[in-house]
Amino acid sequence: MDVIEMDGASHNSVDDIRELRESVAYAPVSGRSKVYIIDEAQMLTPQAWNAFLKTLEEPPPNTIFVLATTEPQKILDTVVDRCHRFDFGRPTVEQLTVVLQRVAQSESIEISPDALALIARHATGSFRDALGTLEQLVTYTGSSIAVEDVLAVLGVADDDLLFGALDAIAAHDARASLEIAARLAETGRDLQIAARDLEVHARELLVVGTLGGVPSELRVTPDRDARLAEQAERVDEADAVRLLDLLGVAMRAIRDGADPRTQLELSLVKAATPEVDASTKALLARIARLEAALGGAPAAPPAATPPAAAPPAAAAPAAAPAEAAPALAAAPSVEPEAPLAAEPPAATPVQPADPPAPATPAGSAAVAAAAAQPEPADAPEPELAPQPSAAAVAVTIEQVAEIWPAVLETISPDQSMVCAALARAQPVEMRAGNLVVAFAEDDSFNRRMVADNADARTVIGLALESLLGVRVKIEYELRDLGTAPEAQELAGDELVDRLLETFDAEEITAPPAAASTAGADDEAEVEQPDFADDGDPGPEGP
């Protein structure tokens, strides 16, 4: 069989196709067939394809044309219709390793399985690249090849450093991450290639963690496969995704001229410590760590609150002191579980109907029976009462006050002014499912700063939702934090004293103002005769 290979990228003109057509007419030298392989066939010009079309449609006997391309969509439809199409996939690392092992044995080359696996991984699915690398190693080292020789020729990072970098990120150890970056730099290899190797390793961890095992295309050696699966269980998928994003940004910056070591160190430190990263993904990672620190069950507190819904309402006179008194006064006249049903206003007129029920005259028997009927219906409903306003009953102000410091910790460092402003406020009540955060009455500046900052509102809302398990809307108000939250009217003198103290002003008394007014009237009276004297000639004129 005669095999003739032609590069379509450099032989893509009509003249090249004419020469091919002339050579096709000759019989094969050895064997019974001639095979023409045109590599990069998509590079042929339309004119060349048109000149080649008749030969493809009626090829000479015993002649086979193989059109190899990586972009079949660029081949003309008229050419594709005259061919049989075969789509080939890339070989796996395992298949490449088997071929390399067979070649090494036939050539009496001593090479370890780890070195073969490293060559196969670096070939990225190409038999030609894998065999070419093996040939370079034989020229470089002779018939005995070690892992260190492969690392030196390929310039890739050691697996131990890659696994160590991801271990440091999983442990949130920034110091260990910097040490790994320093060791990568000390090897003298290109740090951009090291960043790419880290990206490939993070991608493998993400795939293994998502699939729950090492797929066939990632299998190298049993030891490395077991090590990869074990690390995938310890590295959070969110950390792997964030590292991939950070490395992508770092490699773009390196291509634009940034220092490779600085970009690599920055990516590793940001991945290990989300606190120094102001991105949304880093914020979500910090919220996840807060959830884990609080027990990993943010939805548990709301589920346990309905039995204890009455004590917070009675113990919070700041919310509605005037309404709490009737509820407490009516509580002794009903069963111990009735305070839950005594909170709705519809249940309050039913309770006074109990005392007249024992002594009912004939005329009032129907009224007493009608008044006593709703009580049995209300008695089994205390547990269902919170359902119409589940958010208001489930979340109490005590729960919000307990997690409020953790909410402030989620605010990123670039929102330091907002954090400082919120530190001067405090949650005071839950009103119809909305959280009321109060600032001091003279602190309207900080209230506007927080209320007008959309980013801060989003961050606080996400933090509350993650920690409480329910979405809570926030209202910002000005209140006297030293007294009850309800507005208190100030007397006239007290209001003046507070304004003088706030603006550091001095009160102007009435007598000086009256004297100045009298002085102004005198001046007006003095000027009036002058004006009349100046105008005397007026009436005498025509």
Residues 265 and 248 in one domain: yes
Amino acid letter, 469: G
Residues 268 and 167 in one domain: yes
Amino acid letter, 8: G
Residues 113 and 189 in one domain: no
Domain-embedded: residue 207: yes
Task: Note the pLDDT of residue 533.
Answer: 47
Residues 260 and 180 in one domain: yes
Given a cut of 90, whether residue 312 has pLDDT beyond it is: no
Domain-embedded: residue 374: no
Structure tokens that stand for 373 in this block: 């009927």
Total domains present in the chain = 5
Given a cut of 90, whether residue 274 has pLDDT beyond it is: no
Task: Note the pLDDT of residue 298.
Answer: 45
Domain-embedded: residue 437: yes
Domain-embedded: residue 169: yes
Task: Note the pLDDT of residue 32.
Answer: 84
CA distance 338 to 165: 61
Task: Note the pLDDT of residue 2.
Answer: 84
CA distance 126 to 420: 58
CA distance 445 to 424: 11
CA distance 387 to 271: 43
Given a cut of 70, whether residue 332 has pLDDT beyond it is: no
Task: Note the pLDDT of residue 169.
Answer: 92
DSSP per-residue string spanning 233-268: HHS-HHHHHHHHHHHHHHHHHHHTT--HHHHHHHHH
Lowest mean pLDDT among 122-126, 161-165, 316-320, 446-450: 316-320
CA distance 480 to 469: 30
CA distance 96 to 116: 9
Beta-strand relationship, 426-431 and 434-440 = antiparallel
Point out which residues pair with 427 in neighbouring strands: 437
pLDDT tens digits, 335-362: 444 444 334 444 444 444 444 444 444 4
Residues 256 and 216 in one domain: yes
Categorize the per-residue pLDDT at 492 as very low, low, confident or very high, splitting at 50, 70 and 90: low
Task: Note the pLDDT of residue 502.
Answer: 65
Task: Note the pLDDT of residue 102.
Answer: 94
Domain-embedded: residue 414: yes
CA distance 325 to 301: 28
CA distance 465 to 471: 5
Exposure class string for 314-336: b at 16+ Cβ within 10 A, else e:
eebebbeeeebeebeebbeebee
Q: Using the structure block, give the residue that is written with the tokens 């939805």.
A: 299
Residues 178 and 104 in one domain: no
Q: How far is CA 178 from the centre of its chain?
A: 24
Structure tokens that stand for 62 in this block: 């015993």
Residues 257 and 170 in one domain: yes
Query: To the nearest whole number, what is the mean pLDDT of the chain?
Result: 75
**Domain membership of residue 522 as a residue range:** 489-526
Within 469-509, residue ranges assigned H as helices are 492-503
Query: Residue 243's closest CA among 212, 206, 184, 202?
Result: 202
We report the CATH number of the domain holding residue 105 as 1.10.8.60
Task: Note the pLDDT of residue 510.
Answer: 59
Amino acid letter, 502: T
- Given 272, 295, 330, the domain boundary residue is 272
Domain-embedded: residue 532: no
Sheet with strand 473-479: strands edge to edge: 426-431, 434-440, 473-479
We report the CATH number of the domain holding residue 179 as 1.20.272.10
**DSSP at 43:** G
Task: Note the pLDDT of residue 228.
Answer: 92
Task: Note the pLDDT of residue 486.
Answer: 42
Query: Residue 463's closest CA among 475, 474, 478, 450?
Result: 474
Task: Note the pLDDT of residue 354.
Answer: 46
Residues 138 and 196 in one domain: no
Domain-embedded: residue 440: yes
CA distance 235 to 205: 8
Structure tokens that stand for 147 in this block: 């892992």
Contact 301, 206 (CB under 8 A): no
Contact 267, 250 (CB under 8 A): yes
Q: Coil, helix or strand for 35?
A: strand
DSSP per-residue string spanning 56-71: HHSPPTTEEEEE--S-
Mean pLDDT score, 312-323: 41
Contacts 24+ apart (CB under 8 A), 438-443: 438/476, 438/477, 438/478, 438/479, 438/481, 438/485, 439/476, 439/477, 439/478, 439/479, 439/481, 440/478, 440/479, 440/480, 440/481, 441/478, 441/479, 441/480, 442/502, 443/478
Residues 148 and 189 in one domain: no
Residues 137 and 189 in one domain: no
Q: How many CA atoms are closer than 13 Å to the CA of 151, on its beta-carbon side?
A: 15
Given a cut of 80, whether residue 255 has pLDDT beyond it is: yes
Contact 135, 116 (CB under 8 A): no
CA distance 291 to 297: 7
We report the CATH number of the domain holding residue 20 as 3.40.50.300
Q: How far is CA 462 from the centre of its chain?
A: 11
Structure tokens that stand for 133 in this block: 């690398």
- Given 108, 138, 154, the domain boundary residue is 154
Burial class (CB in 10 A: 0-12, 13-18, 19+), 526: exposed
Residues 180 and 252 in one domain: yes
- Given 80, 112, 145, the domain boundary residue is 80
Task: Note the pLDDT of residue 425.
Answer: 86
**DSSP at 319:** T
Domain-embedded: residue 214: yes
pLDDT tens digits, 207-236: 999 998 888 878 878 888 899 999 999 998
Decide which of 102 and 319 is more confident. Answer: 102
Residues 178 and 247 in one domain: yes
Exposure class string for 478-487: b at 16+ Cβ within 10 A, else e:
bbeeeeebee
Mean pLDDT score, 489-505: 63
Q: Coil, helix or strand for 476?
A: strand
Q: Using the structure block, give the residue that is written with the tokens 């005329």.
A: 363
